[in-house]
Amino acid sequence: MHSHLTLRLLGSGSDHGTCPAVYAADTGELVVQGDITDRFGTVLVPHVLLDWLESGMTLPVEATDASGLFLVSGEPVTAPEVLAQLRLADHETAVVVH
């Protein structure tokens, strides 16, 4: 995991920048913040997250049994420098999507 990603918020599910959220990294990758799942490196997010992507951006998602919710898989965010840019609640985590 890159330890020096600079993130730009594309969209968030709250006025406080918390879950769900999607960020553009200065490397061209996306960082997705969502609910923790039982699958390593996977977060659960609502479909509205896709609306926040800018033109030309894509995000691979996997459908779930729950209406309007998707799974997004990637590399778990573990670098303190990157985590410091996020506002993660106890039930949230984030992944980097290449």
Report helix, strand or coil for 15.
Answer: coil
Q: Given a cut of 60, is residue 1 above it in pLDDT?
A: no
With H, G, I as helix, E, B as strand and everything else as coil, classify residue 51.
helix
Instruction: Kindly state the tokens that stand for 5.
Output: 């990603």
Cut 0.75: pTM above it: yes
Residue 17 above 70 pLDDT? Answer: no
pLDDT one-digit tens code per residue, 31-62: 999 999 999 999 999 999 999 999 999 999 99
